Structure 1
Amino acid sequence: MFTYETADQREVRRFRIAQFNGRMATVKSGESTVTGFVRSVLEQESSIPPRWTITIIPSAPKDEPKPLRGALRARPFAEDYF
């Protein structure tokens, strides 16, 4: 799990919407980028200005799809045109 802390209300809204809709969210923190599902958005009530702690479950990166067939295809009935 990846924990991210922010005070940006726009960003918190984006994470809450992603959590509600079951969509993945991406966070860029420093040099690292994490993409995954939002597990929780918790407000820290004792802090001024308000801060939120967001927990993200990272997902494994998808493999690039490999082509089903080779790029070159022979036309099976090409000799019918000659």
Structure 2
Amino acid sequence: MFTYETADQKEVRRFRIAQFNGRMATVKSGEETVTGFVRSVLEQESSIPQRWTITIIPTAPKDEIKPLRPGSRLRPFADDYY
């Protein structure tokens, strides 16, 4: 799990919407980028200004999709017709 802390209300709203709709969210913290499902958005009541702690369950990156069949064979010979 990845824990992220922010004070930006727009960002918190984006994470809450992603959590409610079951969509993945992406956050960039420093040089690290994490994509995954939002597990929780908790407000820290004792802090001023308001701060939220967001917990994300990261997902593994998908493998590249390989084409099922090779590309068209006509393209390499297209220059012969011009």
Match of 1:80 in 2: none
Note the 1:49-64 alignment, pairs <5 A.
49-64=49-64
Partner SS, residue 26 of structure 1: strand
Quick check: 1:10 aligned with 2:34? no
CA RMSD of aligned residues (A): 1.2
Who is 1:47 aligned against?
47
Amino acid at match of 1:25: A
Larger of the two Rg values belongs to structure: 1
Secondary structure, counterpart of 1:67 in structure 2: coil
Q: Secondary structure at the match of 2:18?
A: helix
Letter of the 1:52 partner, please give it: W
2:50 corresponds to which letter in structure 1?
A: P
For residue 60 of structure 1, give the secondary structure of its aligned residue in structure 2: coil
Paired position in structure 1 for 2:68 = 68
Which ranges of structure 2 fall in alignment gaps of 5 or more residues? Answer: 75-82
Identity %: 88
Q: Normalising by the residue count of structure 1, what TM-score does the alignment of the two structures yield?
A: 0.86
Which aligned segments of 4 or more residues in structure 1 are displaced greater than 4 angstroms? none
Q: Secondary structure at the match of 1:14?
A: helix
Q: How many residues align?
A: 74
CA–CA distance in 2 between the matches of 1:53 and 1:69? 47
Question: How far apart in 2 are the matches of 1:27 and 1:61?
Answer: 15
3-state secondary structure, aligned to 1:12: helix
